[in-house]
Structure 1
Amino acid sequence: MKILFVAPWIPSRYRPRSLEFLEILAAEHEVALLALTHDEAEIEEAAALPVTDQTLVPNSRVGTMTRSLRSLVTGESLQTGYANPPELVTALRAKIAEWRPDVVHLNVFRTAHLVEACGDTPVLIDLDEFRSEYYEQLAADGPNPAWRAIGRVEQHRMRAREDELVRARVPIILSAPGDTRPGTYVVRSICDFPLQPHTATAPTVLFVGRLSYEANVEGLMWFAREVWPGIKQAVPDARLRIVGQDPPKSVKTLAEQDGVDLFANVPSIEPHYGASTVAIAPIFRGTGIQMKLIQALSAGVPTVTSEMVAARAGVRDGEQVRTAEDPQGWVAAIGALLRDRAERERLAVNGREWAVANHGSAAVRGQLDVAYAAVTGHRSVGSDATAYIDEYGQ
């Protein structure tokens, strides 16, 4: 089968879901890549991808900002404006006419405006999530007036396009089992994170996350302010280990508190899971699945998270994770796990089994196969995926 994979960026380890899907498909089929690039470094990254050929369309940063600002006037989504140089549609139509793919795989909402340009060629789009919900949350309780203003503008424009795709029965891939409307298929993100040997020498609470993402920073700051003092009182020798990229000044100041260690821009996060007793995901705004939760479960680290994060992932309190909402609940849940080794081990085993069954490579290949079979009428990937479907179904 010939698949034209269209992305608003170069699939890479920084865009792992895009890269993983591209690699799965390229292992079994001819895959051509059509993508936007910002600079020479991204062009070099693209050269290493396992594709039959590639068409790269320049997307200058000045151009992205100009089109995004213009979107405020034209009424289109800011996300669309960001990734919509006119050369992209031209290149897409030319590639379809020349190469005649069996299916076009569109990657994330920033390519949603390309559906109609695919004409009669079967198309599916990996939205990952119905992202408009995130902007609705921002509009209601964003961290500052600027974010709330963006949320008010973007939520309606993005929702309108999402609803349009659903009404048109465009096959949509989602990463979470929550909002599965007609024509949607759940294909989770791969997490083959290895089980980590336990090396913690002190009761250690771990937070892992991209620290340039405002929802991560807000959740972490809330935890440090509202929960951490209570944990220190209950378990005086407890330590908080923060691991993430590009921490802002507010996070850097946390390292000045008693028992808090900050590890910024580390080459590998794996050892930090092994050096921790309990992981946390104190996120109260967001959509889709928090991969920090899936990584922790896959690594075999018992995890405490918010009810929202657990519900979106499909894990349950007391079975694969512990959940909490208010500071007292967080202190109680974490304190109990820090003191109870048997309970930590039980949750670690359950969480690891769940992560492998739902986010392991074989599982995700099977999920992707279901989505492609619905679009093309035949299997998209290999026998391992077929075995998964036979055993687990969709």
Structure 2
Amino acid sequence: MHAVPVPSGAGGSGAVRPEILFLSHRIPFPPDRGDKIRSFNVLQALARLGPVHVATFADDADDMAHERALAGLAASHCLLPRTKSLARSGMEALITAKPISLAAFRDARLSRYIAEVLRTRPIAAIYLFSGQMGQYLPPHFDGRIVADLVDVDSAKFEAYAAKSGGFRGWMEQREARLLAAEEARIAGLADHTLLISAQEAALFRGRLDKTAPAGRVAAMGNGIDSALFDAKNVLPEPRLAGHDGPRLIFTGQMDYAPNVDAALRAIRRLLPRIRARIPGASLHIVGRNPVAALTALDGRDGVHVWGKVPDVRPWLAAADIALVPLEIARGVQNKVLEAMAMRLPVVLTTGAATGIEARDQHDYAIADSDDQLVEAVVALAGDPGRAHAMGAAARTWIVGHAGWEAALAPLAGWLGLATRHHADAA
């Protein structure tokens, strides 16, 4: 659970190697969901720059089972199970006038580990992954701080609040207001604040007041392993392939509110209209922790809720169309990148296409209203040649534009380690 800081090799010259502290709200293993895929690739890149000390949390026993993998990559680590209930986090947040998101990730043991690392190791840079971990940033630090907020969480909670009412709406508006202040505070401490897309970065800059360092805000997009995500390398999942077509698929973490809302939209509003025109159409919801509102609909009227699967690629390979009707979408959607890489034609909303600068109606099909989404799916299902061409174009775009190496290329410079890294490589 907890590995204390350990000395790292100094290198042949006897000079002390600069080290990195990585703060993440969730262990980057296994890289099987959007935030973990990003943090995993970042952590790998950091480990190539120097020894990395990792402070992070595990959501459950499955996460804890990957501690050995984390230990194999980190110079030292502190991995703690996150057992604090939502009710307790809410009470702590109200008492301390902090966001619930911060209270949920507050742990004195992690604070002690971070303080020990900073006291005993030559930490040259801190990489903060997600705003929940900003509370652990030291107020005075001589090295570089890079804050990867990924999305503007405060804007997300504003969107939630606009759809809610009563006490829940009040709590979500409170969370949005307090998170906005925390995001601005983090930006003030960081040398660089990263968002997942140019659009998200522009949104964040616009929310900072005139005294905040908007010029240090940058976009760092997600990438994808296009060699791994290639339909040529996997067999289609027979449980999905056995259904009549068109087989529509929606993937993701299925207890995440925007994903749940999108899946329910597809089930309740889109699929019945699609099936009225194509009776054999089916919709497959694939992803861990589906909420009760989704599992209750499994097996009804062409709906299949599969839950967690060991590998999403065979399921994508067995589908005909990826349907991504997100109404609240922040940043680059890994589910879209993965489907495109697997040569699937993707029908998606404008929000779901954010940060993926491909060509509409060529590499994917953007549609926002229910009418537009239904028509786009029906049109692709009725024209297999066009669907195939769109999937092939999507794959070509991914290979040319969406690799992790290109996405992470500026990392060493942002951390102030570029010169040292080149010297070590030489």
TM over 0.5: yes
Output the CA distance in 2 between the equivalents of 1:357 and 1:177.
19
Alpha-carbon deviations, 1:111-144, whole Å to 9, x = none? 11233345212211211111111101011014x7
- Of 390, 394, 398, the residue aligned with 1:347 is 390
Q: Is the 8 A contact 2:147 2:186 kept in 1?
A: no
Q: Is the 8 A contact 1:358 1:364 kept in 2?
A: no
Q: Is the 8 A contact 1:297 1:355 kept in 2?
A: yes
Change (3 A) 1:315 1:72: farther
SS of the aligned residue for 1:289 comes to coil
Shift of 1:156: 0.6
Change (3 A) 1:327 1:57: closer
Task: Show structure 1 runs of 4+ deviating over 6 A.
Answer: 38-41
- Of 187, 200, 220, the residue aligned with 1:179 is 200
Identity %: 21
Alpha-carbon deviations, 1:261-295, whole Å to 9, x = none? 33222222211111111111111013122221111
SS of the aligned residue for 2:128 comes to strand
1:274 corresponds to 2:317: yes
Q: Is the 8 A contact 1:206 1:240 kept in 2?
A: yes
1:45 corresponds to 2:66: yes
Q: Which moved more, 1:20-29 or 1:321-330?
A: 20-29
Output the CA distance in 2 between the equivalents of 1:132 and 1:172.
15
| 1:376 aligned residue | 416
Q: Is the 8 A contact 1:59 1:85 kept in 2?
A: no
Q: Which moved more, 1:262-271 or 1:29-38?
A: 29-38
TM-score, normalization by structure 2: 0.80
Change (3 A) 1:57 1:347: closer
- Of 271, 274, 277, the residue aligned with 1:234 is 277
Output the CA distance in 2 between the equivalents of 1:221 and 1:233.
18
| 2:93 aligned residue | 71
| 1:154 aligned residue | 175
Aligned amino acid, residue 5 of structure 1? F
Shift of 1:337: 0.5
SS of the aligned residue for 1:349 comes to helix
- Of 194, 204, 207, the residue aligned with 2:229 is 194
| 2:104 aligned residue | 82
In structure 2, stretches of 5+ residues that fail to align are 1-17, 206-214
Q: Is the 8 A contact 1:79 1:110 kept in 2?
A: yes
Output the CA distance in 1 between the equivalents of 2:301 and 2:100.
42
Change (3 A) 1:230 1:44: closer
Shift of 1:17: 2.1
Aligned amino acid, residue 229 of structure 2? P
- Of 22, 29, 34, the residue aligned with 2:55 is 34
| 1:120 aligned residue | 142
1:261 corresponds to 2:304: yes
1:134 corresponds to 2:156: yes
- Of 9, 31, 41, the residue aligned with 1:20 is 41
Aligned amino acid, residue 319 of structure 1? H
Measured on the aligned residues, the alpha-carbon RMSD in Å equals 2.8
Aligned amino acid, residue 24 of structure 2? A
Output the CA distance in 1 between the equivalents of 2:187 and 2:353.
26
Aligned amino acid, residue 119 of structure 2? A
Output the CA distance in 2 between the equivalents of 1:241 and 1:76.
39
| 2:131 aligned residue | 109
Q: Is the 8 A contact 2:364 2:394 kept in 1?
A: yes
Output the CA distance in 2 between the equivalents of 1:108 and 1:380.
26
Q: Is the 8 A contact 1:92 1:117 kept in 2?
A: no
SS of the aligned residue for 2:330 comes to coil
Alpha-carbon deviations, 1:221-246, whole Å to 9, x = none? 12222221221122232222222223
SS of the aligned residue for 2:73 comes to coil
Output the CA distance in 1 between the equivalents of 2:298 and 2:74.
48
TM-score, normalization by structure 1: 0.86
| 2:208 aligned residue | none
Change (3 A) 1:79 1:273: same
- Of 254, 257, 268, the residue aligned with 1:214 is 257
Alpha-carbon deviations, 1:349-387, whole Å to 9, x = none? 222233234432322332xxx1430330626878xxxxx
| 1:224 aligned residue | 267
Output the CA distance in 2 between the equivalents of 1:318 and 1:221.
25
In structure 1, stretches of 5+ residues that fail to align are 383-394
1:295 corresponds to 2:317: no
Q: Is the 8 A contact 1:7 1:108 kept in 2?
A: yes
Q: How many residues align?
A: 379
Q: Is the 8 A contact 2:200 2:330 kept in 1?
A: no
